[in-house]
Structure 1
Amino acid sequence: MAANGAKNAVFLNLDDAYGNGLAKYGIAGFTGTSTQVVYNPQAAEFSADVSKAKAAKPDAIAIIGFDETTKVLTELIKQGIGPNKVKTYLVDGNLSSGAYKDLPKNIMKGVKATLPGVFTNDELKKRLLGVDPKLTDYSYAPESYDAVVLIALAAEQGKGTDGTTIRDNLASVSSGGTKCTTFAECKTLIAAGTDIDYDGVSGAIEFDANGDPSVATMGVYEYVANDKYEARAAEFITGAVPAA
């Protein structure tokens, strides 16, 4: 938000661990003035919450929520601080290609949202569509694919399919050895007794001492219409995951 010129932001978030957690780190990372408005996602309407947001006179609004975001946006528009008036930002929980189609025409144009994960390339999309031709949402597809491959490779290396064997081999097959990028290639190397380092469709994979991913990618998407958003390669940022 600050990179887009925002100096006074409102973080409008649902009251749960997800909403409060994202708002906490968002506020910590924002260099300007921040106001947090926490709302009940089960509320029938959000006029009071939006009024609090409006009172802060924001030049940017981050909405951290889920399905109720459509109602929140409707109220923001009603009170004159909708996306056509104030720069608006969403998150993975409310990034949608269908939820906002009935809002005023093109009012979502320019709204940005973040989604963890790399962009799903055309080759992987083609393979996924071969399984489900009706698929339209590729969120987390590269990461999910790599997770399955890593489990299979850990089982291959450990010569077992029990949970303990897989756990004990996950880090080994994803770091420190010979680079390989497909299951078939990596399996051949394992069979030959070679230590491998699988880098998949989601990029480099590294685990920390606790077994958590130590590198992650965040994508920034932008709405070009109420029911369509796009991502550009330059808007994907990869970096180290902060320690918990």
Structure 2
Amino acid sequence: MPGNAPKFAHPCFQNAPARVARMHLSVAPKCNIKCSFCNPAGGDTCVHGCMPGLTSGVLTPQQAVEHVRRVRQGGTPIRIVGIAGPGEPLFNEATFETIAGVRAAFDDIHICLSTNGLLLPERLERILRLGVETLTVTVNCLTVDCARLIYEHVEGRRDGGAFRRLLANQLEGIRLAAAHGLCVKVNSVLVPGENDREIPLVARRVAELGAYIHNVLPLIPRPDARRREAPSRELIDSVRAQCGDCIEQFTRCRHCRADAIIDADE
């Protein structure tokens, strides 16, 4: 089924340039899965660098709303507020409190949400009630064998049932979200030798379920015993070309931090 296009200019959901000021609110520290390439639980408290999961601190919902207010009063015309971590937004009640607070305080701000998808089917109704308009779901693979490489655990478990539940909920959540009118982007982290052959299958499946756009993110290696390497430019281009046969590929991703603020002129 064709995906739902965004109803407003959103630089993270379109390849055409869009000058829109946006910011991420770092309010969701807890996570319910562990990606084998991810930051430590809770994210890194670092003011330098640019990659998902980095944050200089975690805000309460009240602090988050005031943070938006101060940024806007300082001259940055924020029009999009996203919640992308540093943990799993749907696993943190603060996510929902923050969205409600932002919606109540500002009637001209669009809400964007990112998720690993595990809780998406059961939390979708709350997301819709709160007026979320754009949703990013990370789907790195389709099979349990590949999931065992990509994820260290799902809710503390490494059995096949846990991985199957994650994969099934990701796909069902995308289907339901698209069916209810949300614009859905799917992120896939490209890990050479582990899921490079499976990501094109992910692209085809999520396109069938109603995703609008697909973002292949090259792995950013972290020091660990597995010594993964970043994918080559050739591999990235090859995987994107295969995926592009069935769904538009997003190629302007900036690997934003969990507390990023991006002005309209950037």
TM-score by length of structure 2 reads 0.38
Q: Which has the higher contact order (CA 8 A, sep 6+)?
A: 2
User: Which of 1 and 2 has greater Rg?
Assistant: 1
Name the structure where strand makes up a greater proportion of residues. 1
